[in-house]
Amino acid sequence: MLQYIGKRLLQLIPVLLGMTFIVFMIIRAIPGNPAQVILGQQASKEAVAALEAKLGLDQPWYTQYFEFLMNIFRGDLGESLRTRSPVADELWPYLAATAELAIFAMIIAIVIGVNAGIISAWFQNSWFDYTAMILALIGVSVPIFWLGLMEQWAFGIELDLLPTTGREDVRNPVHAITGLYVIDTLIQGRFDQLGQVLRHLILPGIALATIPMAIIARMTRSSMLEVMRSDFVRTARSKGQKMSLVVYKHALKNAIIPVLTVIGLQMGILLGGAILTETIFGWPGIGRYIYDAIGFRDYPVVQSGILVVAFIFVMINLLVDVLYSVVDPRIKYD
């Protein structure tokens, strides 16, 4: 197993290098001059040229790329062109905000999606099966931005039950330790703030969870239906075991492999693609951070942000591969 993990980690190197090169070239193909954006349209050509020289933007692209790689190997993600602050210091709070939202959304998606898929397979062709699959189809089809706006209107404006923007109560801000506010409030014993943080998570979490929840439900149902027709399931039922025990202990364990694959892919997508949800709910996440950096042509922020998200994505895929062998002992990595 350790040898397999080491080999996979080595395979990540060319993947990440290729990704950095592609992102580096695409960003520089975007029209606009970072120095001009920083100084404004009224700045003189001399001032723009001086700032380009100061930022190293007057150097050939391959020199800039090589310097970017050397900084990464030294653990330095560079400085933001806009704020002149280290990208690593700026990046973590935004990444932590997105990670907290994505984990919360994925918990909702897994708990509801897996159980809905299991019950649909258990009672195939029942009213619950048809209802769950119709809702899953709607969940995949409904745009996140529309769902988010409807949630804000219904639960934030009409019913006034939940906050519609931000991560915390601005009148009672959380003292950040890890950047994950749920953990920070638990560490400090601030359960009043914990309640506020969870209330802020509910609406964006549900909006973000809708699509992966629907996908997980449909995949679980399909996989469970195939396993439920297996001989070992019929044997277990013929021995008089409870149906719930057969489904959750025997069938689910054999049907979970493709579901794990979907969960891993969806988790990676949530970490890198939550920009619509973050924008609608005013969530200070990594998606909005990179989006704003693109508007300012802040090359180091965009490059480093995408690199970190890509690294997390491939690490999640590696974790899913390792979980395969934990769930199913028949899978061996030699």
Confidence of residue 291 (pLDDT cuts 50, 70, 90): confident
Q: Confirm if 226 and 101 have CB atoms less than 8 A apart.
A: no
pLDDT tens across 60-91, in order?
A: 777 878 887 887 777 777 778 777 788 888 88
The set of residues, in sequence order, having a beta carbon less than 8 Å from that of 131 and lying 6+ positions away, is none
CA dist 50 and 6 (Å) reads: 46
CA dist 253 and 205 (Å) reads: 27
pLDDT tens across 84-138, in order?
A: 788 888 888 888 888 899 999 999 999 999 999 988 888 888 888 889 888 888 8
With 70 as the cut, is the pLDDT of residue 333 above it? no
Confidence of residue 202 (pLDDT cuts 50, 70, 90): very high
CA dist 223 and 199 (Å) reads: 34
